Structure 1
Amino acid sequence: MKNNSSIKEFWPALRFVLIFAGVYFIGNILYGLYIEYYYPLADPMTIWVTHQVVFIVNLFGESASSVVSESEPIVYFRKLDEATGMSKTVLRVFEGCNGLNVVIVFIAFIVAFGGNVKRVMIFIASGCLILHFFNLLRIILLYYTALNRPHFFYYFHKYIFTAFLYLVVFGLWILWTRMKSKQDAAIS
């Protein structure tokens, strides 16, 4: 009898972990199939994200362009050197830069934590837009890091800006848990 009460006691946490793992696993399988479908070329999301970043930096006076590789899953982020008229590659954007993996982790948590379906869907859509915005900001900052402080690029790419993006995810998770707690308290 004690085992049965232990399962009941831990069921909410176990349920969360199972749903999170299931959504995360399915999301990653679908993402992998999506990437493989376009291989050996870059996927449309990576191309779209790179085009957006180029558009934004050009608003700030840069002479940037993006070139989709015809043989690799890379989008080259290039800058025109106005003195020579030549362009040079500043960044190589791969599928991991498109932000979809971060979105999968975010969605898995929100779905696992649960809530009113309409509110969950609205929060997921809003969160995806916020994450997309911060991912664009991350790539813009990486562009300027590569241009101005290339010796810091690896560190900023691997650690600082990746941590920054996951802190945004964590902040959204906290916001969702607080919103849901208030909603649950109002219902009680």
Structure 2
Amino acid sequence: MRKYLIQFKPFLLFIGTFFTAYIALTVAYKFYLNSLRADEVDAVTNWVGRNVEQLLLLFDYDIKVQKSFSSPWLEVWFNNKYIIRIVEGCNAVSVMILFVSFVLAFSGKPKVTLLYILFGIVFIYILNVIRIALLTVLLFHFPEKSHFLHGVLFPLAIYGSVFLLWVIWVNKFSKYAK
């Protein structure tokens, strides 16, 4: 048994670190969400909504992002038409938690690890804002493509980008990089 523990030590350390980080960050985030009122929109979702609005205004679109009167989400109005809502799950925090957990599990030098985590979080955030802005415009023009755009294309884009960040991390910066 000891032979197998030694043989699989790197894998077991990775799994242990990954799940410890993932569970700790998820629990901390859930505690934060549970501290909000039932009709309140969390801060990250508000930032995302505000940045989506700013991005589309930059391209001179008729856009308005506002809090729903009765629910904990943001309504996105495009050309005076309600297009989508931005809920807590749209803010990419869960994707950021997944990213951070993986990088910590394959950690490298502390400073490099911290900088890469910060870079990754900012990159995921910006990518997510662009994703929601594009989704808004595309759903206005192609509402019949809703399932493909929201359920396939854009999740593939964000998770694919996170996968590429992981590949770069493991091959260039982690303690396993050659």
Q: Where on the TM-score scale, by shorter chain, does this alignment land: which range?
A: over 0.9
Aligned residues: 177
Higher relative contact order (CA 8 A, sep 6+): 2
> Counterpart of 1:129 in 2: which secondary structure?
helix
- Does 1:21 pair with 2:19? yes
Shift of 1:154: 2.1
* Residue of structure 2 in register with 1:34 after alignment: 32
Of 8-17 and 152-161, deviating more is: 152-161
2:6 to 8, 14, 27: 8
* Residue of structure 2 in register with 1:146 after alignment: 139
Change (3 A) 1:68 1:181: closer
Contact 1:41 1:70 (C-alpha < 8 Å) held by counterparts? no
Q: Which runs of 5+ in 2 are unaligned?
A: none
1:24 maps to a residue whose letter is: Y
Q: Which runs of 5+ in 1 are unaligned?
A: 81-86
Change (3 A) 1:182 1:45: closer
Change (3 A) 1:4 1:32: same
* Residue of structure 2 in register with 1:176 after alignment: 169
Contact 1:41 1:69 (C-alpha < 8 Å) held by counterparts? no
Change (3 A) 1:181 1:20: closer
Of 101-110 and 54-63, deviating more is: 54-63
> Counterpart of 2:8 in 1: which secondary structure?
helix
Rounded Cα–Cα distance in structure 1 between residues aligned with 2:128 and 2:9:
35
Contact 2:131 2:154 (C-alpha < 8 Å) held by counterparts? yes
Contact 1:41 1:71 (C-alpha < 8 Å) held by counterparts? no
| TM-score, normalisation: structure 2 | 0.93
Contact 1:142 1:156 (C-alpha < 8 Å) held by counterparts? yes
Percent sequence identity is 28
1:99 to 92, 103, 107: 92
> Counterpart of 1:91 in 2: which secondary structure?
strand
Of 53-62 and 32-41, deviating more is: 32-41
Alignment of 1:10-159 (within 5 A): 10-38=8-36, 39-80=38-79, 87-159=80-152
Give CA deviations for 1:81-125 in whole Å, capped at 9, x if unaligned. Answer: xxxxxx321111100111101000000000011111100000000
> Counterpart of 1:114 in 2: which secondary structure?
coil
Of 65-74 and 110-119, deviating more is: 65-74
CA RMSD after TM alignment: 1.6
Give CA deviations for 1:107-159 in whole Å, capped at 9, x if unaligned. Answer: 00000111111000000001111111111111011101210001111221112
Rounded Cα–Cα distance in structure 2 between residues aligned with 1:31 and 1:72:
20
Rounded Cα–Cα distance in structure 2 between residues aligned with 1:181 and 1:122:
12
